[in-house]
Amino acid sequence: MTGALSGIRVVELSQVLAAPFCGYQFALLGAEVIKVELPDAPDCARGRGPLPELNARGIGVNYQVQGGNKRALALDFRSKAGRAALLKLAESADVFLENYTTGAMESFGLGYEALRQCNPRLVYCSMTGYGDQGPKASKGAYDNTIQAASGTIGQCNGVKPGLSFVDYAAGYSAAFAISAALLQRERTGEGCYISVSMLEVALSLMAPEAASTQAAPEAEKHKEAGISAYETADGRLMLGAFKPSQYRKLGTCLTGQGYDVGLLEQIHDWPDVWQHSAAIREDLQAIFAQRPAEEWQILLEAAGVPAECIVSLAEAVTAPQLAARGYFAPSPADPSLRLPLAGFRMTEGGAALHSAPPELGQDSRAVLAGAGLSGGEIEALFAEGIAK
């Protein structure tokens, strides 16, 4: 099956997570994605992961989850000859994706205006911590520092969530923007420049809170009983009674089991939820503590009230639900290693993992030849250490 993005060529100057993950979305859908790295400073994610033998080969697990289906070019684009080779490659590209610090590409002579001259149809996407304007535009960033700057950690009571969700969300945001720009190009014939800000992505993930705290900064923050976690007889349960009607369903369910929480029947709108949540939560905690979490989950789901046992990640990744959807696929580099695919399915042209993440410079000669460089020019780049 041909991927939905087959025929699209992406040149990806990426490192760590956000941009490599963005490029991975295109690679999974059939695009040709060429990962360009400096020979003396390759993507540090290559050496990260729980399996030392893969880290030593430069294909660590942290790299593999966003490196499959790509080709690898090791090229020192800081040099005059390396820059010329990259510009040649950009002539046939549809997308140029990078996540270096704001201004870095311009300093190498590889900014949007320079590449636009050789390819007016190019969609150029820069991913940075804070975007390309403003007092922090030139500041470097990682997921954890953006979580701090965006108020995410503050919103989580001072505790950093144990995952790099801003990086991944930024990758998806960039992939969406690039796809939109490619569609726009079909109408206009022109490419464009895209600036993705991790800070703005983080705030977008908290859109209701970010808007509300400006509209009414002194307003009381409500902790709603229906969407809280509760201790049960053998573990924790996350309740999902979000709408007022679900509060009433919860009341009916508990009444049928011999528990009376009269306030639940009085929930008809959001003010009711906010007014009575403290009292309801106290009653629910006493009730849920009497039975195991899984028993409560079954009862609540039968009553039309969402609920889930709180499980570990180790338990979650082995869930039959994920197996039924085929979410994990064997790594082409090591079939014993299972890697995440996309969180969606398509009847035609969907995500597929068919080739192993490339080692550093694995495809350098072939990529340079495909860009139109002669054999002599390619060998000169290797002899001078500009390519590897």
Q: Are 246 and 272 in contact (CB under 8 A)?
A: no
Q: Are 14 and 35 in contact (CB under 8 A)?
A: yes
Half-sphere exposure of 38 (CA within 13 A, CB side): 11
Q: Residue 231 has what DSSP assignment?
A: E
Say which of 43, 94, 167, 283 is annotated catalytic: 167
Q: Are 28 and 355 in contact (CB under 8 A)?
A: no
Q: How many CB atoms lie within 10 A of CB 345?
A: 11
The angle subtended at Cα 28 by Cα 56 and Cα 360, nearest 5°, is 25
Is 167 labeled as catalytic in the residue annotation? yes
The CA distance from 71 to 24, in Å, is 11
- DSSP string of 320-338? HHHHHHT-EEEETTEEEEE
Give me the helices (H) in the chain, please: 18-28, 52-56, 61-64, 80-90, 104-107, 112-118, 143-149, 152-155, 165-188, 198-204, 207-215, 244-256, 270-288, 293-302, 313-316, 320-325, 364-370, 375-383
The CA distance from 277 to 253, in Å, is 18
First to last CA, the chain: 33
Q: Are 225 and 281 in contact (CB under 8 A)?
A: yes
Q: Edge to edge, what strands does the sheet with 236-239 contain? A: 229-231, 236-239, 307-309
Name residue 107's amino acid. Answer: S
The torsion of the CA quartet 47, 53, 58, 64, rounded to 10 degrees, works out to: -80
Q: Residue 177 has what DSSP assignment?
A: H
Residues identified as active-site? 167
